Protein backbone atom coordinates (compact mmCIF):
# COMPACT_ATOMS: atom_id res chain seq x y z
CA UNK A 1 0.00 0.00 0.00
CA UNK A 2 2.89 2.35 0.86
CA UNK A 3 4.51 1.74 -2.53
CA UNK A 4 1.22 2.44 -4.30
CA UNK A 5 0.79 5.73 -2.39
CA UNK A 6 4.31 6.84 -3.24
CA UNK A 7 3.75 6.02 -6.91
CA UNK A 8 0.47 7.96 -6.90
CA UNK A 9 2.16 10.97 -5.28
CA UNK A 10 4.96 10.99 -7.85
CA UNK A 11 2.44 10.78 -10.66
CA UNK A 12 0.52 13.78 -9.27
CA UNK A 13 3.73 15.85 -8.96
CA UNK A 14 4.68 15.00 -12.54
CA UNK A 15 1.19 15.94 -13.73
CA UNK A 16 1.30 19.31 -11.96
CA UNK A 17 4.78 20.06 -13.34
CA UNK A 18 3.62 19.29 -16.86
CA UNK A 19 0.57 21.53 -16.56
CA UNK A 20 2.36 24.50 -14.93
CA UNK A 21 3.10 27.44 -17.23
CA UNK A 22 6.67 27.47 -18.52
CA UNK A 23 8.88 30.30 -17.28
CA UNK A 24 10.36 32.68 -19.84
CA UNK A 25 13.43 31.23 -21.51
CA UNK A 26 16.57 33.27 -22.06
CA UNK A 27 16.75 34.79 -25.53
CA UNK A 28 19.99 35.49 -27.36
CA UNK A 29 21.21 35.96 -30.90
CA UNK A 30 21.71 38.75 -33.42
CA UNK A 31 20.13 42.21 -33.32
CA UNK A 32 19.90 44.78 -36.11
CA UNK A 33 18.58 48.33 -35.65
CA UNK A 34 18.31 50.66 -38.64
CA UNK A 35 17.58 54.29 -37.80
CA UNK A 36 16.47 56.54 -40.65
CA UNK A 37 16.24 60.02 -39.16
CA UNK A 38 15.55 63.56 -40.40
CA UNK A 39 15.74 67.19 -39.32
CA UNK A 40 12.13 68.10 -39.94
CA UNK A 41 12.13 71.19 -37.71
CA UNK A 42 14.65 72.91 -39.98
CA UNK A 43 14.30 71.29 -43.41
CA UNK A 44 10.98 69.42 -43.48
CA UNK A 45 10.42 65.72 -44.15
CA UNK A 46 9.78 63.78 -47.39
CA UNK A 47 6.23 62.90 -46.27
CA UNK A 48 5.49 66.29 -44.73
CA UNK A 49 4.81 64.57 -41.40
CA UNK A 50 6.33 65.89 -38.14
CA UNK A 51 9.23 64.23 -36.36
CA UNK A 52 9.00 62.70 -32.88
CA UNK A 53 10.89 65.61 -31.29
CA UNK A 54 12.25 69.01 -32.34
CA UNK A 55 15.48 68.53 -34.27
CA UNK A 56 18.89 70.22 -34.37
CA UNK A 57 21.07 69.25 -37.36
CA UNK A 58 24.77 68.47 -37.38
CA UNK A 59 26.38 71.57 -38.89
CA UNK A 60 28.43 71.58 -42.08
CA UNK A 61 31.33 72.10 -41.77
CA UNK A 62 31.62 70.14 -38.54
CA UNK A 63 33.09 71.73 -35.42
CA UNK A 64 34.22 70.17 -32.16
CA UNK A 65 31.55 70.35 -29.46
CA UNK A 66 28.64 70.66 -31.89
CA UNK A 67 25.49 68.98 -30.52
CA UNK A 68 22.85 67.51 -32.81
CA UNK A 69 19.51 65.72 -32.74
CA UNK A 70 17.80 63.95 -35.65
CA UNK A 71 14.48 62.12 -35.53
CA UNK A 72 12.14 59.81 -37.43
CA UNK A 73 8.55 60.80 -38.12
CA UNK A 74 5.91 59.57 -35.66
CA UNK A 75 4.51 56.03 -35.49
CA UNK A 76 1.09 57.43 -36.41
CA UNK A 77 2.34 57.92 -39.96
CA UNK A 78 2.72 54.72 -42.02
CA UNK A 79 4.80 56.53 -44.66
CA UNK A 80 8.13 55.24 -43.36
CA UNK A 81 9.28 52.30 -45.52
CA UNK A 82 12.74 52.11 -43.97
CA UNK A 83 11.75 52.49 -40.31
CA UNK A 84 8.74 50.18 -40.71
CA UNK A 85 11.21 47.26 -40.88
CA UNK A 86 13.88 48.90 -38.72
CA UNK A 87 14.26 46.31 -35.92
CA UNK A 88 15.22 42.69 -36.52
CA UNK A 89 16.18 39.86 -34.16
CA UNK A 90 17.60 36.48 -35.18
CA UNK A 91 16.17 34.22 -33.91
CA UNK A 92 12.86 36.07 -33.40
CA UNK A 93 12.42 37.87 -30.08
CA UNK A 94 9.46 36.45 -28.10
CA UNK A 95 6.28 38.48 -28.59
CA UNK A 96 7.79 40.93 -31.09
CA UNK A 97 6.93 40.97 -34.79
CA UNK A 98 9.85 40.32 -37.13
CA UNK A 99 10.98 42.65 -38.50
CA UNK A 100 9.39 45.27 -36.24
CA UNK A 101 8.41 48.84 -37.03
CA UNK A 102 10.36 51.44 -35.04
CA UNK A 103 10.94 55.18 -34.86
CA UNK A 104 14.29 56.55 -33.70
CA UNK A 105 15.98 59.62 -32.25
CA UNK A 106 19.73 60.14 -32.68
CA UNK A 107 21.39 62.57 -30.26
CA UNK A 108 25.09 63.24 -30.07
CA UNK A 109 28.12 65.48 -30.01
CA UNK A 110 31.19 65.91 -32.17
CA UNK A 111 34.01 65.10 -29.75
CA UNK A 112 36.97 65.93 -32.01
CA UNK A 113 37.74 67.19 -35.51
CA UNK A 114 40.94 66.55 -37.47
CA UNK A 115 43.15 69.44 -38.58
CA UNK A 116 41.92 68.97 -42.15
CA UNK A 117 38.31 69.17 -40.98
CA UNK A 118 37.54 66.03 -42.98
CA UNK A 119 37.40 63.59 -40.09
CA UNK A 120 36.97 63.26 -36.36
CA UNK A 121 35.02 61.45 -33.67
CA UNK A 122 31.43 61.49 -32.49
CA UNK A 123 29.44 59.94 -29.65
CA UNK A 124 25.82 59.85 -28.57
CA UNK A 125 22.71 57.75 -28.14
CA UNK A 126 20.15 56.14 -30.41
CA UNK A 127 16.69 55.72 -28.89
CA UNK A 128 14.33 53.46 -30.84
CA UNK A 129 10.63 53.07 -30.05
CA UNK A 130 8.63 50.05 -31.18
CA UNK A 131 5.47 51.05 -33.05
CA UNK A 132 2.30 49.25 -31.95
CA UNK A 133 -1.11 50.39 -33.15
CA UNK A 134 0.30 53.67 -34.45
CA UNK A 135 1.85 54.61 -31.08
CA UNK A 136 5.39 54.65 -29.71
CA UNK A 137 5.76 51.93 -27.05
CA UNK A 138 8.71 49.80 -25.84
CA UNK A 139 12.09 51.44 -26.33
CA UNK A 140 15.72 50.45 -26.74
CA UNK A 141 18.46 52.97 -25.93
CA UNK A 142 21.97 52.37 -27.26
CA UNK A 143 25.04 54.51 -26.68
CA UNK A 144 27.51 54.75 -29.55
CA UNK A 145 30.90 56.19 -30.41
CA UNK A 146 32.65 56.30 -33.74
CA UNK A 147 35.24 57.86 -35.96
CA UNK A 148 33.96 59.67 -39.03
CA UNK A 149 35.36 60.88 -42.32
CA UNK A 150 34.12 62.65 -45.41
CA UNK A 151 32.65 60.37 -48.06
CA UNK A 152 31.23 60.62 -51.54
CA UNK A 153 29.33 57.37 -51.05
CA UNK A 154 25.87 58.02 -52.47
CA UNK A 155 23.71 55.25 -51.04
CA UNK A 156 22.87 53.27 -47.91
CA UNK A 157 21.41 49.79 -48.20
CA UNK A 158 18.69 49.10 -45.63
CA UNK A 159 16.10 46.34 -45.18
CA UNK A 160 13.45 48.63 -46.64
CA UNK A 161 15.51 49.30 -49.78
CA UNK A 162 18.42 51.43 -50.97
CA UNK A 163 18.55 55.07 -49.85
CA UNK A 164 20.08 57.47 -52.36
CA UNK A 165 22.20 60.11 -50.60
CA UNK A 166 24.63 62.85 -51.61
CA UNK A 167 27.60 61.72 -49.53
CA UNK A 168 28.55 63.42 -46.29
CA UNK A 169 30.18 61.97 -43.18
CA UNK A 170 30.63 58.20 -42.96
CA UNK A 171 31.01 56.45 -39.61
CA UNK A 172 34.02 54.13 -39.33
CA UNK A 173 35.18 51.85 -36.50
CA UNK A 174 31.97 52.58 -34.63
CA UNK A 175 30.61 50.57 -31.70
CA UNK A 176 27.37 50.54 -29.71
CA UNK A 177 26.08 49.17 -26.42
CA UNK A 178 22.46 48.80 -25.31
CA UNK A 179 22.18 50.74 -22.05
CA UNK A 180 18.42 50.84 -21.39
CA UNK A 181 15.16 49.19 -22.39
CA UNK A 182 11.50 49.35 -21.43
CA UNK A 183 8.47 47.10 -21.84
CA UNK A 184 9.34 43.96 -23.80
CA UNK A 185 13.00 45.06 -23.77
CA UNK A 186 13.39 45.93 -20.09
CA UNK A 187 16.14 43.35 -19.48
CA UNK A 188 17.70 43.43 -22.96
CA UNK A 189 21.46 43.86 -23.31
CA UNK A 190 23.67 43.85 -26.36
CA UNK A 191 26.56 45.41 -28.26
CA UNK A 192 28.14 45.49 -31.68
CA UNK A 193 29.16 47.76 -34.55
CA UNK A 194 27.53 50.93 -35.84
CA UNK A 195 27.84 52.15 -39.42
CA UNK A 196 26.09 54.69 -41.62
CA UNK A 197 26.35 58.34 -42.49
CA UNK A 198 25.17 61.85 -41.82
CA UNK A 199 24.10 63.14 -45.18
CA UNK A 200 21.58 65.11 -47.22
CA UNK A 201 18.89 63.41 -49.28
CA UNK A 202 18.52 64.76 -52.83
CA UNK A 203 14.86 65.51 -52.07
CA UNK A 204 15.83 67.58 -49.02
CA UNK A 205 18.29 69.65 -51.02
CA UNK A 206 15.68 70.19 -53.74
CA UNK A 207 12.97 71.11 -51.21
CA UNK A 208 15.30 73.68 -49.62
CA UNK A 209 16.80 74.93 -52.91
CA UNK A 210 20.34 73.94 -51.92
CA UNK A 211 23.05 72.38 -54.08
CA UNK A 212 24.83 70.41 -51.35
CA UNK A 213 25.08 69.85 -47.59
CA UNK A 214 27.69 72.62 -47.50
CA UNK A 215 25.24 74.93 -49.27
CA UNK A 216 22.51 73.90 -46.82
CA UNK A 217 24.89 74.50 -43.92
CA UNK A 218 24.04 71.17 -42.28
CA UNK A 219 23.67 67.42 -42.67
CA UNK A 220 19.91 67.03 -42.83
CA UNK A 221 19.66 63.25 -42.34
CA UNK A 222 21.25 60.65 -40.08
CA UNK A 223 21.10 57.04 -41.29
CA UNK A 224 22.71 54.59 -38.86
CA UNK A 225 22.86 50.78 -38.86
CA UNK A 226 23.54 48.85 -35.64
CA UNK A 227 24.46 45.18 -35.95
CA UNK A 228 25.54 43.00 -33.06
CA UNK A 229 24.68 40.39 -30.44
CA UNK A 230 21.88 40.52 -27.86
CA UNK A 231 20.83 38.56 -24.80
CA UNK A 232 17.85 38.76 -22.47
CA UNK A 233 17.55 36.52 -19.39
CA UNK A 234 13.77 36.94 -19.19
CA UNK A 235 12.29 38.47 -22.37
CA UNK A 236 8.99 40.28 -22.05
CA UNK A 237 7.64 43.07 -19.81
CA UNK A 238 8.68 42.78 -16.17
CA UNK A 239 11.08 39.97 -16.93
CA UNK A 240 13.63 41.11 -14.39
Give one word for 58, left, alpha or beta, with left for phi > 0 and alpha for psi -120 to 50: beta
**Is 13 among the domain residues?**
no
**Is 90 among the domain residues?**
yes
- Residue 23 burial (CB < 10 Å; 0-12/13-18/19+)? exposed
What pLDDT, on a 0 to 100 scale, did the predictor assign at position 236?
A: 77
| Total tally of structural domains belonging to the chain | 1
What pLDDT, on a 0 to 100 scale, did the predictor assign at position 6?
A: 44
What pLDDT, on a 0 to 100 scale, did the predictor assign at position 10?
A: 44
57: domain range? 27-232
**Is 21 among the domain residues?**
no
Nearest C-alpha neighbor of 33 from the set 121, 120, 96? 96
Q: What are phi and psi of 221, to 5 degrees?
A: -130, 145
What pLDDT, on a 0 to 100 scale, did the predictor assign at position 99?
A: 97
Nearest C-alpha neighbor of 221 from the set 233, 208, 235, 234? 208
Residues 135-162 pLDDT 10s: 999 999 999 999 999 999 889 999 999 9
Instruction: Give the dihedral of Cα atoms 146, 150, 153, 158; nearest 10 deg.
Output: 20
Query: Which residues in 73-100 are b (16+ Cβ under 10 Å) and which e?
Result: bbbebeebebbbbbbbbeeebeebeebb
Question: pLDDT averaged over consecutive 10-residue blocks of the chain (240 residues)?
Answer: 47 43 73 98 94 98 97 94 97 95 98 96 98 97 98 92 96 98 97 98 96 97 98 78
What pLDDT, on a 0 to 100 scale, did the predictor assign at position 8?
A: 45
What pLDDT, on a 0 to 100 scale, did the predictor assign at position 18?
A: 43
According to DSSP H, which parts of the chain are helical?
A: 2-19, 40-43, 202-207, 213-216
**Is 7 among the domain residues?**
no
**Is 215 among the domain residues?**
yes
What pLDDT, on a 0 to 100 scale, did the predictor assign at position 181?
A: 97
**Is 38 among the domain residues?**
yes
Q: How far apart are the first and last CA of the chain?
A: 46
**Is 105 among the domain residues?**
yes
**Is 238 among the domain residues?**
no
What pLDDT, on a 0 to 100 scale, did the predictor assign at position 74?
A: 97
Amino acid sequence: MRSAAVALGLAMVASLAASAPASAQEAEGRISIEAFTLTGTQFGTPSGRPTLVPTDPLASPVTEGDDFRTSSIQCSSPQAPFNNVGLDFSPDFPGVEDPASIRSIIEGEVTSVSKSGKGGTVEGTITSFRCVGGKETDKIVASFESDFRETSRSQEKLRGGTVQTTGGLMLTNGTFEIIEGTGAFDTLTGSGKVRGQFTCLPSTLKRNMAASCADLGAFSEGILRLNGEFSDPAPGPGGA
